[in-house]
Amino acid sequence: MNQLVIVLDFGGQYKELIARRVRECGVSSVIWPGDTDVDQIRRANPIGVILTGGPDSVYAPDAPRCGDGLFTLGIPVLGICYGLHLTAYALGGEVAPCATREYGRTDMTLDASCPLFEGLDVRQTGLMSHTDQITRLPDGFVSAGSTGNCRNAAIMDRVRAIYGVQFHPEVENTPNGTAMIRNFLYSVCGAAGDYDIGDYEARAVNEIRAQVGDERVLLGLSGGVDSSVCAALLAKAIPGRVYCIFVDHGFMRKGEGDEIGAAFPWRRKLRLIRVNAGVRFLELLKGVEDPEMKRKIIGAEFVRVFEGEAKRLGDIKFLAQGTIYPDVVESGANKSATIKSHHNVGGLPDSMAFKELVEPLRGLFKDEVRMLGRRLGLPKALAERQPFPGPGLAVRIIGEVTAEKLDILREADAIFREEIKQMRDRPDQYFAVLTDTRSVGVMGDFRTYGYTIALRAVRTTDFMTCEYAHIPHRMLKHTVSRIVGEVPGVTRVVYDITGKPPATIEWE
Ligand code: XMP
């Protein structure tokens, strides 16, 4: 068993980041609800507990609280933002609204003797985002840092090993934040650094074998990172008994359908079944213009194809899914698994009689899934694959989807991707959209009337918000000349520079 840190969630937007940072520092972590019973925490025997931030004011009557007795367990605690307020409040201190709120990167002066700040300069920058602050420290505590507006930017009680920070050490805007978390883990909690992705792999392989026994497993392979890594892990654990169904709906990008099948180095250990259903899907989308309608039709048909294949394969009791830790946390940590929407295009119906789910990536964050993929030898093209909507190019063609439009978009998109590949610092997501606007052009002596392609390239870390990517104009110009020159039917290309919000990343 690895040493464990429990992150108690009080509704802060950075809870996953905290848990990831802990893992990056070589310590296993889980996220549990803030009010988890203290007995349950004791039984898990963590080396430390971290309390997240949250949107509430701790003095409000319905503010979230931690379980009684958390601070007398003798386990080191680090409270962050709301977690700091909760610590102070629970131990008899006072929290009140700030006279001056602090938002954004803020200069701080820290106490070098505080174990959290070991090895760091006393002058640091931290991301602040708070409207309350500690106005009176609980007994036993001293301030360990301050800003111009906040006397208690960090607090400590060395005897009980309880610490708190007003700023967010987990975000990049606190440049030495990870070092502070590492100090908490190693200097305060006595971490041994016994967690790495290799342990996870070994444990997951054993667990798959124990769960599945001699049975066969069915996996829906979308070509996305999660399902690909899941397939790789299953191939290692139970070679020859994994049936991967890849439903090619005909809306993949250029070459992708072939890549997904061919690129798998574990092909011999997996039974890959590719169902080419492009004609069927296109027929169903005839005359359909509404994006939601397109998604629904594709989702429903996807399930039908999948179901048909599953039936053909006979009595397979186990269904594997590439569920990852954020899915588990979002659906309520520790709750039992439910079948999530498959391939992101639609849920599998209840009528599919699987005995059990196999979810070997349930404990991993996205970047850890990629790391595991690299360990398992996942081809680069798959490991670095950008997010791609389940309904594929069908939602990147505005209006009705036709074979002709699919061909145009595939070519234009392939050119854009080829060009972007030459950038050293590539955008996080980039693709082409075929708009429903036609416009007049001139080629040689001929007047043309063709489609408008929109190029989209964004910078983002979480895909919840984004900014457009600043692609060099020379590169844009070259891309545009290539698209209009090489793709018949396109007369005009535009570059979308809208951020999210207000726009979404995809056009439909
Ligand atoms: P939006 O367009 O909502 O997209 O800003 C956010 C991110 O999600 C991706 N996306 C999808 N991913 N199934 C997926 O797996 C979908 O149906 C889907 N729709 C959008 C999108 O590419 C972006 O990265």
Q: Is the CB of 504 under 6 A from ligand 1?
A: yes
Which of the listed residues 506, 507, 508 should we mutate to test ligand 1's pocket, taking the one with most ligand atoms within 8 A of CB?
506
- The model carries a pTM of 0.79
Which protein residue's CA is at the shortest distance from atom 7 of ligand 1? 463
Whole-number Å distance, alpha carbon 325 to ligand 1 midpoint, is: 18
263, with CB counted inside 10 A (0-12, 13-18, 19+), is: middle
User: Which ranges of 421-487 does DSSP label H, i.e. alpha helix?
Assistant: 473-486
What distance, in Å, lies between the first and last C-alpha atoms of the chain?
46
pLDDT of residue 264: 65
Q: Given 85, 130, 168, 249, which residue is catalytic?
A: 168
Whole-number Å distance, alpha carbon 207 to ligand 1 midpoint, is: 32
Q: Which atom of ligand 1 is nearest to the CA of 460?
A: 24
Q: Is the CB of 344 under 6 A from ligand 1?
A: yes
Q: Is the CB of 505 under 6 A from ligand 1?
A: yes
User: Which residue has tokens 């502070």?
Assistant: 180
Q: Residue 364: what residue type?
A: L
pLDDT grade for 283, boundaries at 50, 70 and 90: very high
Q: Is the CB of 389 under 6 A from ligand 1?
A: yes
Cα atoms in the 13 Å half-sphere on the side-chain side of 199:
12
SS3 category, 383: helix
Output DSSP code: residue 355: S
Stretch 294-323: mean pLDDT, rounded? 89
Q: Kindly state the tokens that stand for 175.
A: 């440049």
The total number of residues shown for the chain amounts to 508
Cα atoms in the 13 Å half-sphere on the side-chain side of 446:
5
pLDDT of residue 349: 60
Higher pLDDT, 343 or 276: 276
Whole-number Å distance, alpha carbon 387 to ligand 1 midpoint, is: 7
Q: Given 16, 170, 301, 368, which residue is catalytic?
A: 170
Cα(136)–Cα(10) distance, integer angstroms: 22
170 as an active site residue: the answer is: yes
Output DSSP code: residue 76: -
pLDDT grade for 350, boundaries at 50, 70 and 90: low
**C-alpha R_g of the chain:** 26
Residue-wise burial string across 47-69, b where 16 or more C-beta atoms lie within 10 A, e elsewhere: bbbbbbbbebebeeeebbebbee
SS3 category, 455: strand
- The whole-chain average pLDDT of the chain stands at 91
Cα(208)–Cα(225) distance, integer angstroms: 19
Cα(494)–Cα(477) distance, integer angstroms: 10
Q: Which atom of ligand 1 is nearest to the CA of 386?
A: 24
Which protein residue's CA is at the shortest distance from atom 9 of ligand 1? 389
Selection from 188, 220, 196, 231 nearest residue 299 by Cα:
220
Position 336 pLDDT exceeds 80: no
Which protein residue's CA is at the shortest distance from atom 20 of ligand 1? 389
Pairing of strands 446-459, 429-443: antiparallel
Stretch 433-453: mean pLDDT, rounded? 93
Q: What is the CA 99 to chain-centroid distance, rounded?
A: 37
Q: Is the CB of 499 under 6 A from ligand 1?
A: no
pLDDT digits (tens, 9 = 90+) for 372-412: 999 998 888 777 788 899 899 999 999 999 999 999 999 99
Q: Is the CB of 500 under 6 A from ligand 1?
A: yes
Position 338 pLDDT exceeds 90: no
Which of the listed residues 327, 386, 463, 464 should we mutate to test ligand 1's pocket, taking the one with most ligand atoms within 8 A of CB?
463
Whole-number Å distance, alpha carbon 168 to ligand 1 midpoint, is: 28
Q: Is the CB of 463 under 6 A from ligand 1?
A: yes
Cα(386)–Cα(49) distance, integer angstroms: 34
Cα(3)–Cα(345) distance, integer angstroms: 38
What domains lie within the chain, and their CATH numbers?
4-188 (3.40.50.880), 197-383 (3.40.50.620), 402-496 (3.30.300.10)
168 as an active site residue: the answer is: yes
Angle (deg, nearest 10), helices 366-375 and 225-237: 50
Least confident of 118-122, 211-215, 311-315, 395-399: 311-315
SS3 category, 486: helix
Position 291 pLDDT exceeds 70: yes
Which protein residue's CA is at the shortest distance from atom 18 of ligand 1? 389
Whole-number Å distance, alpha carbon 392 to ligand 1 midpoint, is: 10
Selection from 333, 310, 313 nearest residue 323 by Cα:
333
| Cβ neighbour number for residue 508 with a 10 Å cutoff | 17
SS3 category, 483: helix
Higher pLDDT, 363 or 434: 434
pLDDT of residue 382: 79
Selection from 492, 505, 502, 497 nearest residue 471 by Cα:
497
Q: Are 323 and 231 in contact (CB under 8 A)?
A: no
Q: Kindly state the tokens that stand for 507.
A: 């056009």
Cα(248)–Cα(293) distance, integer angstroms: 19
Cα(371)–Cα(365) distance, integer angstroms: 10
Stretch 473-488: mean pLDDT, rounded? 97
Q: Given 16, 25, 66, 81, which residue is catalytic?
A: 81
Whole-number Å distance, alpha carbon 397 to ligand 1 midpoint, is: 15
309 as an active site residue: the answer is: no
Q: Are 289 and 394 in contact (CB under 8 A)?
A: no
User: Which residue has tokens 């295009």?
Assistant: 345
Which secondary-structure segment (H or E) carries 83?
Answer: helix 82-90
SS3 category, 126: strand
Q: Are 364 and 372 in contact (CB under 8 A)?
A: yes
